[in-house]
A and B are shown apart, each in its own frame.
Chain A
């Protein structure tokens, strides 16, 4: 069975600095997708970024980028120029090519200090 591990329950970053959130996963599939979702205190689940496993190029979305290492099964999220509004729970999620449901990690709570 596929698993997703987020080893950092909490992280803290200074405003305007850069922070990296870690995620590793375990799978025997070759075709899959990886996601980072953000959950602010409002509890809305917001898609931050997605990566298709067949793409070697790392996905980027403005200040958010990933470091996707397929062989190492690692999918970290880098947030540049951190803003107060980035404070939230961040969930890493896996979606297999043959599955319909997302498998989530336990989340990392990110605090941003002014």
Chain B
């Protein structure tokens, strides 16, 4: 009965590889987000989707491509991974019309070697 789930929880990979992180929410929310937490614990928005449409796209390299196949899923694909991409990536969801509280997934720790 997990509300927001992410897979995998840990990802170790080599520079130059392509990887994906999946996110699913069963809260019935219409908006999903990707946040990046760097090594100093600072959290920053990357993308936001509302009803499968991109509504926020912060200054993120175009190697990062989000995909929302439906309202309950928001996946993050990263091409040509770089050392600086090492971070924890959080998926979150909310219902924009009510409350606006965002609920977070458990995070995916990405380590690029």
Contact = CB atoms under 8 A, between A and B. Distances in A.
Contacts, number: 51
Contacts of A33: 100-101
A45 B45 contact: no
Q: Number of contact residues on A: which range applies? A: 20 to 34
Main secondary structure of the interface of B (DSSP, over half): strand
Interface residues of B, number: 26
A91 interface: yes
Main secondary structure of the interface of A (DSSP, over half): strand
A65 B103 CA distance: 20
Contact of B104 (A44, A50, A101): A44
Contact of A43 (B58, B96, B103, B106): B106
Interface of B: 31, 33, 35, 40-45, 48, 50, 55-56, 58, 88, 90, 92, 96, 100-104, 106-107, 109
Q: Which 7 A-B pairs have the closest CB atoms?
A: A45-B104, A101-B45, A104-B43, A100-B48, A43-B107, A107-B41, A44-B106
Given A44-B106, A102-B45, A103-B45, 5 more contacts: A43-B107, A46-B104, A89-B41, A102-B92, A104-B44
